[in-house]
A and B are shown apart, each in its own frame.
Chain A
Amino acid sequence: MLNETINCSPAIWQPMLQQQVFRGLLDSFSYPGRITPCADHETSACLAILIALVDGETTLADPQQLLSSALWDRLETRPCVSEKAAFILLDGAQAPDINPCIGTLDAPEKGATLLLRVSSLRSDLTGNHSLHLSGPGIESTTSIRVDGLHPAWITARKEWVSAFPLGVDLLLCDQHHFVAIPRTTQITMGGAA
């Protein structure tokens, strides 16, 4: 897990900065595996995403209590158990022990968005934690190196997304970047390519 605490700058509460964070998100969902810088460098990427996306109309689960109560107050969102939440914030270094909503056949958009905090996201493939990705949004294949992600997440996710259109969408976040892995992306784990 990241040693840094989740914190934010005052500027991130301004709509124009949230718009830029969202455009980064749009880019990362369009091109899975693209390591996207968070528009605000003084805010933890996972928190900037939450600030840009959640409000009282949606639900957030924080089973590991990563957010301070002051942040909960400002997010103005509804706390929820992880089985039902639209957004779930988790530490990627710990093995998954949740059972997220994967949507229903007539409402697959109800499948949760999982924000996993990891220690670093890199495009250089040294070390043995690389993910090879293919699927919509990826021209052929792309590879990223993720440090601080428990390998059991990849296995659990494979199960959750096994029956398209059902599934969950992942956002891997280090301190200043994020990578989206929507349910359509195929992942193979491997060593250095």
Chain B
Amino acid sequence: MNENYELPLEDAGYSFGFLDEYAKKEVRRCILKAIAIPGYQTPYASREMPMGRGFGTGGLQITLSLIGFQDTLKVIDQGSDDSVNAVNLRQFVQLTCPGVDVTEKTEEASLLQSRHRIPEKPLTQAQILILQVPYPDALVVVEASEARRKIMHAEADYSRLLVKLYEDIVHFDEITISHRYPTRINGHYVIDPSPIPRWDVPKLHQSKALVLLGAGREKKIYAVPPYTLAEPLVFDDIAFRVEDFRDATGVRHACRCCGSTVSFLDEFSNDQGMVAYQCSDSAYCEEQQQTGSAA
């Protein structure tokens, strides 16, 4: 965001949280129904935000409808508090919600808006996780018509999605979905859990914290309530597995900064052209470096 950007004030000042109260009420009504029907993509009138759709406007509208003076907000993008999307969204909330605290520490936040990761540190009942969603419907890969997808969801008919997974096993001996892994909520609706890696999918299961998912461009809000079944779609004889960070000799890679061998790692090339591994969750990595307690 441009540092000198100011909200236009020609007609009337913007209300706390940028959205007008009618917009917030609509989002709030929609969120309550989304919790009451776990995993159901509840349609809502996604508002124009002063940023492009696809930049987290769905998550942002949820955050702005929830936030109040008593809140502390953490915004993360791919695990990091300092990448462009996170910085932009955090600055926007600070600009439009004067008085709200922000933090980078997971345990200090009451609201966490995230793109593509769930923090390593387990969340509590006092926290709410808001995920930004680009593609809300897990069925879109097998059915183009939304009207038909709605019927399939209502009937909990996921046979074609299972066929897609089966084809993967036939071709590659493995289900090849790396992120956005279709996950069944409370035994009925299958959701696209946003582009979180497989690593994070088990965190949705019986989570202590409420998880809200917002798709601004697709105009959908859905929820995984706390203490709710969240089962990745699998077959009885092919178990779900998360990313494996072991090398060819079976030794697990460690984070090059904090040495953790239990976190989700990003793989990249260092200055010498060597493959390096580093924690994706920057707040977790920093804490491990300070306490030196990394396993």
Q: Could you list which residues of chain A lie within 8 angstroms of chain B, going by C-beta atoms?
A: 15-16, 18-20, 22-23, 25-26, 29-31, 52-55, 57-58, 86, 105-106, 108-109, 111, 113, 136-139, 164-165, 169, 182-184
Contacts and interface: CB of A to CB of B under 8 A. Distances in A.
A16 B68 contact: yes
A57 B22 CA distance: 9
B21 interface: yes
Contact of A138 (B15, B25, B227): B227
B16 A15 contact: yes
A57 B89 CA distance: 29
B33 A109 contact: yes
Interface residues of B, number: 43
Contact of B35 (A22, A29, A108): A29
A169 B36 contact: yes
Contacts of A184: 36-38, 186, 225
A164 B25 CA distance: 26
B226 A109 contact: no
B32 interface: yes
Interface of B: 15-16, 21-22, 24-26, 28-38, 40, 42-43, 65-70, 125, 128, 147, 150-151, 154-155, 186, 188-189, 210, 225-229
A52 B25 contact: yes
Contacts of B151: 105-106
A20 B110 CA distance: 14
Contacts of B186: 136, 184
B125 A31 contact: yes
Given A16-B16, A113-B32, A53 B68 contact: no
Contacts of B154: 105-106, 108, 165
Contacts of B188: 164-165
Given A16-B68, A20-B68, A136-B225, A165 B150 contact: no
A26 B128 contact: yes
Contacts of A30: 35, 210, 225-226
8 contacts: A15-B21, A23-B66, A53-B28, A53-B29, A58-B29, A111-B33, A137-B226, A184-B186
